[in-house]
Amino acid sequence: MCFFTSLSANAAAVAKRYGKQLDIIEAARQVLAEQEQDARARQDAGSEHRMSVYDVRLAEEIYVIPAYAEPHCVIVSGSEELQVMQWGLIPRTAKPGDAQRYDRENLFKNARAETLFEKWPWRMLWQHNRCIIPVTGFYEPHRLPNGKAQYYYTTLKDQELFSIAGLWDEWTHPQTGEKVLSFVLITTEANAMMRKIHNGGGNPFRMPKILTQEQEKRWLDPSIASEEAVAALLTVYPEKEMTAWPVRPKFNYGDPYDEGIIEPVAEMQTLGL
């Protein structure tokens, strides 16, 4: 399972990388900035509300760690615009109560590539609702002999900004008409390096489906619609092009805009990576 990613490129850099426009991003940035101001005001007033550290400052040079706290991510889809979507798919057929449960229980944050074509709700999305999650890295836990988790930050050796494959959908609340864009991140079996790292938990030996630059255009191409053609894109990314190192404990509880969250922790084991 993958619940933590990092994006240290600003929105303009992401838009340039994928040839997209920024209007939606700018609007979303303003909304999120207002939400953050409200949260800070409540906190300053002595409220017990804990300001989320997962707010997305889309137009700044920042580090973003979406996780469980209602995260929103920059998404590349077939649209001419960069999109902002909620991580944790809410299928279009979901009832309001189900939508809340899916979000609360983190049910649809990851989708296994092996069951993409037959398992609901992926089977209704893989042909026409494919998307890309731009990242500069991601975090996976390594289970230590004492049972504790030591997180590793993983990135690519020769690409500062790279792509993880996903699926998206739009859900409309039947009573209010509210529309929610959401996505799920696709995982594959782990390569040799990631097997060393992601060795425990409920779904060990998995990793995000990283797309090569050659695969990116085909993944977003609506004319690529057969199971055979899409399955050919769901290859395991080669470990020789990846690198990883351990990061400090509880990295996701601090300031997500602190560049130190991806700094290696020398005293922690490195697994010979």
Predicted confidence (pLDDT) per residue in 175-219, tens digit: 889 899 999 999 999 999 999 999 988 889 999 999 999 999 999
Q: Where are the alpha helices (DSSP H) in the chain?
A: 11-18, 23-44, 96-104, 192-197, 213-220, 227-231
Q: For the whole model, what pTM was predicted?
A: 0.85
Cα–Cα distance measured from residue 69 to residue 51, given in angstroms and rounded to the nearest whole number: 10
**Within 10 A of 181 (CB to CB), how many other CB atoms are there?**
18
End-to-end CA distance of the chain: 20
Does 4 fall in a domain? Answer: no
pLDDT digits (tens, 9 = 90+) for 216-255: 999 999 999 999 999 999 999 999 999 999 988 877 776 6
Two tokens at 273?
A: 């990576």
Which DSSP symbol is given to 237?
P
Does 116 fall in a domain? Answer: yes
Q: What is the CATH number of the domain that holds 218?
A: 3.90.1680.10
Does 3 fall in a domain? Answer: no
Give me the number of domains the chain comprises: 1
The two beta strands, 110-112 and 179-189, are parallel
Does 219 fall in a domain? Answer: yes
Does 136 fall in a domain? Answer: yes
Does 130 fall in a domain? Answer: yes
Closest CA to 271 of 190, 162, 189, 163: 190
Domain that holds residue 202: 9-259
